[in-house]
């Protein structure tokens, strides 16, 4: 009896020597994936529909007049689930990003590229929007190949022009969506309704992103995942033998052999029909093993299951599984490595939670003015001069008041500083703090101040107050 191979590379050992998106002559290998059909594709289609609905609805959702989500990278203002993160909260933003990255690493180690196949906007838009339009206008794989080879007749011009026009329109919609996430729908509405001359830069951004999206979905396509995306390139270090990926069960499938009628089959279950390759949007043969180019789109699972049903074999020759499950029949979702990631993530979330709970609406830096001394006043009080900066860490206007909590004393601003704080704005000025000598025991005394908005205390902080020695 022939021994089953222990690696899937018995037949195609050279596949790692070349990049299949580039032909031998250096030209691009344009892929025409066959229209995917099957249970997994239907699940993904419903999931994508839900995801796109949420994606297009989110910019319109508001809490207390503020967007639920905002990612204004230029002004470094972010709103995540209604929580405003301004330029002063760089630590909060940094930690959120860091914990997000650790989460991605953990998630990928356990579930492979589930994100790429199901939720990545590139895959969702490419496979569930643009590709479907292409199938609707140009037909399935054979018709697309024939159309591209055909001379430029009026029918071809009509098909190509209508496809490119629809692509351009959806790219324009997507660019508007992206801008809405960046500046909010209210600002976007202004670009649409007000004279163009008042919003030249933002309108330029819409046009620029429209062209980028069009280029990406009409031409770049699979290469955005296989050449541009850094996440795909990290798979080699993130995945291990327990990671759940879309995989071909070579123990069951090999040796592959065409099926013949009335023949006692001694070969494996793979009938070498190449349907799994024909449907692959990145043009790979999953039977060669896990590859960087696989975006876990499940198209090959459906294609193979359909074939298995037709020839009367068990489905699941290509399925979500792990290398260990294929070889040993068992697999562990949680290993020492994943427990390590969980520990780091828990720690990061704990710190993040603490910082969020203790976060205040304002942040005040109040320091004794450089080069100044205390002033002894004839009425038995001592004054210190301070410079202050108040940062508004919310996305609303605040009119704060500064109060001395302890010891008793008075505040007198130098000049008339404007304490009106715009959203994420800052105010600065100088203030004299005057305290009776009887309240001051040491040369260096600690005093406590608070920032109020009406009767609501926004923040409490301490600073030093210098008094004459021995008083």
* Rounded Cα–Cα distance for residues 362 and 101 (Å): 28
403-406, Cβ contacts within 8 angstroms, sequence gap of 24 or more: 403/449, 403/450, 403/451, 403/452, 404/433, 404/435, 404/447, 404/448, 404/449, 405/448, 405/449, 405/450, 405/460, 406/447, 406/448
* Rounded Cα–Cα distance for residues 166 and 174 (Å): 12
Instruction: Give the shortest CB-142-to-ligand SF4 separation in angstroms.
Output: 17
Closer Cβ to ligand SF4, 299 or 385, answer by number: 299
What sign for the dihedral angle of Cα 17, 21, 27, 30? positive
Closer Cβ to ligand SF4, 188 or 303, answer by number: 303
Of all residues in the chain, what percent are helix, strand and coil, respectively (each to 5)? 45, 20, 35
Closer Cβ to ligand SF4, 8 or 400, answer by number: 8
Closer Cβ to ligand SF4, 271 or 348, answer by number: 271
Instruction: Give the shortest CB-306-to-ligand SF4 separation in angstroms.
Output: 8
* Rounded Cα–Cα distance for residues 34 and 15 (Å): 21
| Nearest CA-CA partner of 439 in 402, 397, 471 | 471
56-60, Cβ contacts within 8 angstroms, sequence gap of 24 or more: 56/177, 58/181, 59/177, 59/180, 59/181, 59/184, 59/185, 59/188, 60/185
Stretch that binds ligand SF4, among 62-70, 120-128, 269-277, 418-426 (CB under 6 A): 269-277
Closer Cβ to ligand SF4, 199 or 287, answer by number: 287
Closer Cβ to ligand SF4, 45 or 352, answer by number: 45
Instruction: Give the shortest CB-321-to-ligand SF4 separation in angstroms.
Output: 12
Stretch that binds ligand SF4, among 160-168, 270-278, 396-404, 459-467 (CB under 6 A): 270-278
Instruction: Give the shortest CB-209-to-ligand SF4 separation in angstroms.
Output: 26
Determine the longest span between alpha carbons in the chain, in angstroms: 115
Closer Cβ to ligand SF4, 181 or 250, answer by number: 250
Instruction: Give the shortest CB-358-to-ligand SF4 separation in angstroms.
Output: 45
Instruction: Give the shortest CB-78-to-ligand SF4 separation in angstroms.
Output: 33
Residue span 147-166 as binding mask against ligand SF4, x where in contact by CB under 6 A, dash where not:
--------------------
**Exposed, middle or buried: residue 471 (CB in 10 Å: 0-12, 13-18, 19+)?**
middle
Instruction: Give the shortest CB-238-to-ligand SF4 separation in angstroms.
Output: 16
Residues from 274 through 333 that contact ligand SF4 (CB under 6 A): 274-276, 279-282, 284, 286-287, 294-300, 303-304, 307, 317-318
Closer Cβ to ligand SF4, 28 or 274, answer by number: 274
Identify whether the C-beta of residue 109 lies closer than 8 Å to the C-beta of residue 240: yes
Binding-residue total with ligand SF4 (CB under 6 A): 30
Residues from 208 through 267 that contact ligand SF4 (CB under 6 A): 246, 248, 253, 256
Instruction: Give the shortest CB-332-to-ligand SF4 separation in angstroms.
Output: 23
The CA-based dihedral angle spanning residues 129, 130, 134, 137, taken in that order and rounded to the nearest 10 degrees: 70
* Rounded Cα–Cα distance for residues 330 and 342 (Å): 22
Closer Cβ to ligand SF4, 170 or 317, answer by number: 317
Alpha carbon distances (Å) from 194 to 187, 293, 403: 10, 45, 44
| Residue 390 in contact with ligand SF4, rule: CB under 6 A | no
Stretch that binds ligand SF4, among 21-29, 46-54, 183-191, 271-279 (CB under 6 A): 271-279
* Rounded Cα–Cα distance for residues 345 and 102 (Å): 6
* Residues 49-76 as b or e (16 or more Cβ within 10 Å = b): eebbeebeeebeeeeeebbbebebeeee
Closer Cβ to ligand SF4, 106 or 284, answer by number: 284
Instruction: Give the shortest CB-425-to-ligand SF4 separation in angstroms.
Output: 48
Identify whether the C-beta of residue 471 lies closer than 8 Å to the C-beta of residue 440: yes
Token digits of residue 126 = 């490419």
- Packed helices 154-183 and 200-215: angle between N→C axes, nearest 10 degrees: 130
Identify whether the C-beta of residue 247 lies closer than 8 Å to the C-beta of residue 213: no
Strand segments, DSSP code E, in 183-251 are: 245-248
Closer Cβ to ligand SF4, 85 or 295, answer by number: 295
Identify whether the C-beta of residue 463 lies closer than 8 Å to the C-beta of residue 369: no
- Packed helices 185-193 and 154-183: angle between N→C axes, nearest 10 degrees: 130
Instruction: Give the shortest CB-248-to-ligand SF4 separation in angstroms.
Output: 6
Closer Cβ to ligand SF4, 257 or 453, answer by number: 257
Instruction: Give the shortest CB-117-to-ligand SF4 separation in angstroms.
Output: 7
Instruction: Give the shortest CB-21-to-ligand SF4 separation in angstroms.
Output: 12
Residues in contact with ligand SF4 by the rule CB under 6 A: 246, 248, 253, 256, 270-276, 279-282, 284, 286-287, 294-300, 303-304, 307, 317-318
């Amino acid at each position: 009896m022939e021994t089953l191979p222990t690696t899937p590379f018995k037949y195609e050992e050279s596949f790692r020597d070349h990049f299949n998106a580039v032909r031998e002559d250096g030209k691009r290998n344009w892929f025409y994936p066959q229209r995917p059909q099957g249970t997994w594709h239907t699940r993904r289609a419903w999931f994508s529909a839900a995801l796109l609905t949420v994606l297009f609805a989110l910019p319109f959702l508001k809490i207390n007049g503020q967007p639920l989500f905002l990612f204004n990278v230029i002004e470094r203002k972010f709103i995540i689930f209604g929580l405003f993160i301004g330029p002063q909260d760089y630590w909060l933003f940094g930690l959120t990003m860091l914990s997000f990255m650790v989460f991605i690493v953990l998630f990928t180690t356990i579930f492979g590229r589930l994100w790429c196949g199901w939720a990545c906007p590139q895959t969702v838009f490419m496979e569930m929007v643009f590709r479907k339009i292409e199938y609707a206008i140009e037909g399935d794989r054979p018709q697309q190949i024939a159309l591209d080879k055909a001379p430029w007749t009026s029918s071809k011009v009509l098909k190509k022009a209508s496809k490119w026009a629809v692509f351009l329109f959806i790219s324009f919609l997507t660019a508007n969506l992206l801008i809405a996430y960046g500046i909010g729908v209210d600002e976007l509405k202004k670009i649409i309704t007000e004279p163009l001359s008042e919003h030249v830069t933002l309108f330029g951004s819409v046009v620029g992103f429209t062209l980028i999206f069009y280029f990406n979905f009409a031409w770049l396509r699979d290469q955005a995942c296989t050449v541009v995306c850094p996440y795909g390139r990290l798979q080699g270090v993130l995945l291990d033998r327990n990671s759940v990926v879309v995989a071909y069960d070579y123990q069951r499938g090999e040796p592959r052999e065409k099926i013949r009628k009335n023949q006692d089959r001694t070969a494996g279950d793979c009938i070498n029909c190449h349907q799994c390759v024909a449907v692959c949007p990145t043009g790979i043969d999953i039977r060669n093993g896990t590859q960087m180019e696989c975006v876990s789109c499940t198209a090959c699972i459906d294609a193979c299951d359909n074939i298995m049903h037709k020839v009367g074999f068990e489905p699941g020759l290509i399925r979500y599984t792990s290398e260990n499950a294929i070889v040993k029949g068992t697999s562990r979702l949680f290993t020492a490595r994943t427990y390590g990631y969980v520990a780091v993530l828990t720690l990061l979330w704990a710190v993040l939670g603490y910082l969020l709970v203790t976060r205040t609406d304002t942040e005040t830096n109040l320091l004794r003015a450089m080069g100044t001394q205390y002033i002894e006043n004839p009425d038995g009080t001592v004054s210190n001069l301070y410079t202050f900066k108040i940062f508004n860490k919310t996305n609303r206007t605040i009119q704060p008041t500064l109060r001395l909590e302890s010891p008793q004393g008075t505040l007198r601003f130098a000049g008339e500083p404007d304490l009106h704080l715009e959203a994420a704005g800052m105010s600065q000025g100088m203030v004299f703090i005057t305290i009776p000598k009887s309240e001051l025991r040491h040369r260096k005394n600690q005093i406590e101040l608070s920032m109020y908005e009406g009767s609501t205390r926004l923040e409490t902080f301490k600073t030093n107050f210098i008094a004459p020695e021995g008083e």
